[in-house]
Amino acid sequence: MVDFPPRRKPSRKGSMADVPKDLLEQIKELERLFTVGHAKLKEVTNHFVKELEKGLSVEGGSIPMNPTWVMGYPDGYETGTFLALDMGGTNLRVCEIDLPEEKGEFEIIQSKYRMPEELKTGDSEELWEYIADCLQQFIEYHHEMEDLEQMDKKLPLGFTFSFPATQDYIDHGILQRWTKGFDITGVEGKDVAPLFEAALEKRKLPIKLGALINDTTGTLIASHYTDDTMQIGCIFGTGCNAAYMENCGSVPKIAHHNLPPDMPIAINCEYGAFDNEHVVLPRTTFDVIIDEDSPRPGQQSFEKMIAGLYLGELFRLVLVDLHDNKCKMFEGQDISKLREAYSLDASFLSFIEEDPFENLSETGELFSRELGIKANKPELELCRRLAELIGTRAARLSACGVAAICKKKNIEACHVGADGSVFNKYPHFKARGAQALREILNWPAGKRDPVDIRAAEDGSGVGAALIAALTIKRVKAGNLAGIRNTEGMI
């Protein structure tokens, strides 16, 4: 066996010297299509602010701006044992979180369960049965109980239901529409809490639904629990979203509750729906195709331009178009695998952007292994540039939502807690987003960014548990605004 010295990290600056003229022209055209300049960023952000305001009005707008009935931040002294259920786009996660007496501390045990693809477009009852089954497995394993009915007190649970829902109460939620590839009949327009509770009751599980939350709201609360300068929670993953704390007096659509105007209430923006009217976002023909071929055409316009679910598909559509219509891309090769819709995800682009070699050998191997395509060096250079353009556009547009909340709330400095696979794993996403924020908010060069987007705490687990704890604390204090069923909470 030969011992090699430690591998020096290769540098890659790239070269277009050997790229044929027709491919160079296509690269220039792609740069024109996918580059978002600072003037456009500011235009998008200013329109974003107006749409946030419209969403809070009685009439409403494209951005739902859902009141969550989370009335303020934790103080760090919440205590107790709580369950958290996280239903996201790919996995189902069950957690048990212990909040000890030490301020801002927590202990967590958790298990993940794969969300079967067939459930995402299947029957409503099958979905809730599967979720209840996972909860039962978790409790039986971690509590080693033969008879769950013998528990003398139900475990309070925070349910992270990461889909747009209207909430008149914190312990219920009417699903507005499915996102993230879900399309289960018989759930949209219905309160998901009774559907979930019926499945729990069927199994006699000792669980009390304390709060139904969105992962973004959980991210806001969990991040503030450990860092009180966090004022915005964001998700950049399969989907995109943000949450922040508003004053009740600034939310006209809940004025009928007659709450104190300075009382805080967390708003789940659901701003993936920004610009569904197609007024300001710089959509390309490929964005239009993604929208028209999606299960929900005309919805989630912003999300379809920046979320991980769509970045790979955007990349794929461009390559197919280049092969079929624009130039001799992958000439004479079988691209049948590339023609399969959603056969590429954001990790494919991430891998390309991380290829450190001048000859893009790892990218070439990726195309050969995953798509059966033997790409030459100029074609690989185009693919590399296309991945950079799509990834950069997503990061720069994502900054517009954060900037819009800052402008609306006159926030000059804060931390922003961000989570999601794209934020955490996509190369350069954080730096590109930070650069866009500087351009939008006109920060002076050479100084520390006053609004700093950082990795968030576990919003869908710890955040859900904290919100359940906050809800119980409010019940004990007699503050029942937005709580429907207090039975079994104390």
Per-residue pLDDT for 216 more than 50?
yes
pLDDT band at 432, cuts 50/70/90? very high
* Residue in 86, 171, 215, 287 annotated catalytic: 215
What does residue 354 show for φ and ψ, rounded to 5 degrees?
-90, -5
> Is the pLDDT higher at 485 or at 363?
363
pLDDT band at 1, cuts 50/70/90? very low
Per-residue pLDDT for 180 more than 70?
yes
> Is the pLDDT higher at 473 or at 386?
386
Query: pLDDT tens, 90-122?
Result: 789 999 999 888 887 889 999 999 988 899 998
pLDDT band at 11, cuts 50/70/90? very low
* Residue in 86, 93, 162, 316 annotated catalytic: 162
pLDDT band at 5, cuts 50/70/90? very low
Q: What is the pTM of this model?
A: 0.88
Question: What pLDDT score does 488 carry?
Answer: 63
Per-residue pLDDT for 459 more than 90?
no
- Highest average pLDDT, of 159-173, 369-383, 450-464, comes from 369-383
Per-residue pLDDT for 125 more than 60?
yes
Question: What pLDDT score does 317 carry?
Answer: 97
Question: What pLDDT score does 4 carry?
Answer: 31
Query: pLDDT tens, 390-427?
Result: 999 999 999 999 999 999 999 999 999 999 999 999 99
Question: What pLDDT score does 105 carry?
Answer: 83
Question: What pLDDT score does 145 carry?
Answer: 57
Active site residue 15: no
Per-residue pLDDT for 9 more than 70?
no
* Residue in 86, 93, 171, 177 annotated catalytic: 177
Question: What pLDDT score does 195 carry?
Answer: 95
Question: What pLDDT score does 415 carry?
Answer: 97
Active site residue 347: no
Per-residue pLDDT for 6 more than 70?
no
pLDDT band at 18, cuts 50/70/90? confident
pLDDT band at 179, cuts 50/70/90? confident
Look at 6-20, 164-178, 364-378 and tell me which has the smallest mean pLDDT.
6-20
Question: What pLDDT score does 489 carry?
Answer: 65
Per-residue pLDDT for 262 more than 70?
yes
Active site residue 162: yes
Query: pLDDT tens, 276-328?
Result: 999 999 999 999 999 999 988 999 999 999 999 899 999 999 999 999 987 87
Query: pLDDT tens, 406-415?
Result: 999 999 999 9
Question: What pLDDT score does 10 carry?
Answer: 44
Mean pLDDT of 157-178: 90
Question: What pLDDT score does 32 carry?
Answer: 97
Per-residue pLDDT for 149 more than 90?
no
Average pLDDT taken over every residue of the chain: 90
Question: What pLDDT score does 95 carry?
Answer: 94
For the chain, give the percent of residues with pLDDT over 90: 71
Per-residue pLDDT for 150 more than 90?
no
